[in-house]
A and B are shown apart, each in its own frame.
Chain A
């Protein structure tokens, strides 16, 4: 990796909210560009070059034609980083994976559905090797800055393996299950500081299933608190769609 690596941003199916978090670094973005050379960032920059060391990729793979494009990015980049839930775990796009393909295509496109190529939404890692994940929907700009800093130091940032519950307890929140609300903090990968629970909401699971998560125990907790199968499914499908066969 050169001293001042060339960095490019790409997006597939997604809302571009993760790249927005990078723009939202405000003054720190200027600090950052003194250490990296941004060669491609369509959302804020016109000039583009295909010579880059690090590629940040946002969004899910949802069409056959996405595959050659992501493969080319993989070939060009020394390091490929997936940013945001759509890229790291498939995200909200995977909600459509639970609907019959011909049905949702016909629902949206009617008789013209044959014009549109689409298939089940998948994370970037389903197609090419991903070197580093920055989780969240959207990503946390501070975590992004930290991950870039580690990259510049020649390291790969790895998010915590334990679930959000750990951070939520440290933040001093009342357990949502005690309040009668279904919360996925018990199985979701930590690193966000339980930001949604801190704001009065529940954990929605946007950072994906924690590697150490105990799904059986989670099922028991949901049972004990009287949640129905349908309620559990509503929550689990929201972000865990691509891992649902593990549940």
Chain B
């Protein structure tokens, strides 16, 4: 992010301009407050007289909210509740990651049933977030409209199908977590309340139905496959990996170019560095940047996808390793099918075992550190906490997926420059907006770690620092 947050209609002043980076060329193209993304970001393009692109930059201008300071001294029961408010869209992911870190700090293991329910919660969030991105945020670009709303006239059936799918995903989250956004049931040690047998059976039927509907969305996107810009830039892909499943809730941190590491060693992968154009630290591991999110997960773990999801990938022409960042949206669609199928499997396991009315495990607080690592819709999320002997937070640190992608977005923009030169400004704007949108950036999240001091090298994102 930048430290300056321009208001609408006020000129953008780059507070710390790189030499020659400010509008010195004949034309500067500004996409201020990029739309159809979560949070506030700007794209700044410099053109010369012949519409040759001299430079393009990705700025994040979200208002900082100081979550880092907010959780200090708070008791462990409240932490997941507070950090959930970092982001409305990935609130379930933030809660689960926070709970994992807290349980790790106190050395607590939860029951198998709780684990299954948490995996379901994550699948539900993946589906609701992905479908929002695929359908409401990206699809309008492919169909040449400004939002999903005009599709009610032009593509009624497709839109109704998409909305029904998303409604099921939302009902799925409410049923497991109690609510779709900032839910109440997920707590350290277990669940406040669990769904009953009938509710799960009802959910099964809905998920089967939604698999058929997703098939139609896959067909729609397969038909639109020529709309993606032809752009390839191999990079490093980082995601959780597990030998037994398509890793979402747990696993080691894997990379396409590096060894696997346990989550506790996350700082060895998310090496941070500073850039003059942004106060957000960027991340790199073996190369100049790396990518997290659905595309990284697909590239690393595609063999463990459910059969239906693999079929969907074939239909969509998605093959690992895929190096086109625009295909992140396609990989999300493949993951939606996987989440639905894997959820069906988990539900039938829960039902055949019989639901137990478990109370959350009793927590014995102790001083210590804990780390949680989870794949949320936009990539790998890490929370790391230190607790005192009263179970109150001493320090916390949070590595947000979108932050890990900022450098990769900028590198993609650099690589795209030759492709853009000579295009009309509107076309350049659309192409770059589509690129950023494709990453599904969650800027509200990513803004919580501004640190340009360059002094401590210990973490990428200072979410909480004491």
Contact = CB atoms under 8 A, between A and B. Distances in A.
B35 A115 contact: no
B182 A24 contact: no
B178 A199 contact: yes
Nearest to B137: A44
A116 B178 CA distance: 37
A112 B148 CA distance: 41
B75 A107 contact: no
B450 interface: yes
Contact of B163 (A27, A118, A137): A27
From A15, A65, A66, A204, residue with most partner B Cβ within 10 Å:
A15
B269 to A, nearest CB: 23
Nearest to B6: A65
B226 to A, nearest CB: 22
A118 B184 contact: no
A97 to B, nearest CB: 10
B465 A108 contact: yes
A235 to B, nearest CB: 8
Interface string B56-82: 000000011110111010110010011
Contact of B65 (A13, A18, A115, A196): A13
A153 to B, nearest CB: 23
Contacts of B193: 199-200
Contacts of B149: 30, 33, 38, 44-45
Interface string A15-29: 111111101101100
Contact of B63 (A62, A109, A137): A62
Nearest to B167: A26
B89 A17 contact: yes
Nearest to B86: A15
A15 B444 contact: yes
Contacts of A115: 3-4, 15, 279
A105 B156 CA distance: 50
Interface string B438-454: 00000010000011110
B70 A96 contact: yes
A24 B170 CA distance: 8
A110 B451 contact: yes
A92 B85 contact: yes
A108 B450 contact: yes
Given A44-B36, A44-B148, A200 B184 contact: yes
Interface residues of B, number: 68
A222 interface: no
Interface string B151-185: 01000000010011011001000000011111111
B88 A15 contact: yes
A112 B462 CA distance: 14
Interface centre among A30, A46, A110 (most CB of B within 10 A): A46
Given A17-B181, A42-B33, A238-B78, A107 B166 contact: no
B38 A16 contact: yes
A156 B56 CA distance: 46
A137 B5 CA distance: 25
Contacts of B152: 30, 33
Nearest to A109: B450
Contact of A43 (B36, B72, B279): B36
Given A17-B182, A110-B453, A112-B3, A12 B8 contact: no
A232 interface: no
B181 A21 contact: yes
B133 to A, nearest CB: 11
B167 A27 contact: yes
Interface string A111-125: 110011010000000
Given A13-B63, A43-B38, A62-B65, A137 B78 contact: no
Contacts of B185: 199-201
Given A107-B465, A234-B74, A16 B146 contact: no
Given A16-B38, A20-B89, A112-B452, A95 B70 contact: yes
B35 A45 contact: yes
B147 interface: yes
Interface in A179-202: 195-196, 199-201
Nearest to A62: B63
A115 B91 CA distance: 29
B455 interface: yes
A92 B86 CA distance: 10
A103 B66 CA distance: 11
Contacts of A138: 88, 181-182
Contacts of B85: 15, 17, 91-92, 137
B7 A108 contact: no
A63 interface: yes
A111 B163 contact: no
Contacts of B136: 23, 44
Contact of A108 (B4, B5, B179, B462): B462
Nearest to A11: B40
Nearest to A118: B64
A108 B70 CA distance: 11
A199 B184 contact: yes
A99 B78 CA distance: 18
Interface in B10-69: 15, 33, 35-39, 63-66, 68-69
15 contacts: A16-B89, A26-B170, A30-B163, A42-B33, A45-B146, A45-B147, A45-B149, A47-B146, A69-B7, A110-B453, A112-B3, A116-B3, A137-B85, A234-B75, A238-B82
Given A43-B38, A44-B136, A46-B147, 13 more contacts: A26-B167, A42-B35, A44-B137, A46-B36, A63-B63, A65-B7, A93-B65, A96-B66, A104-B69, A108-B64, A116-B450, A138-B181, A200-B178
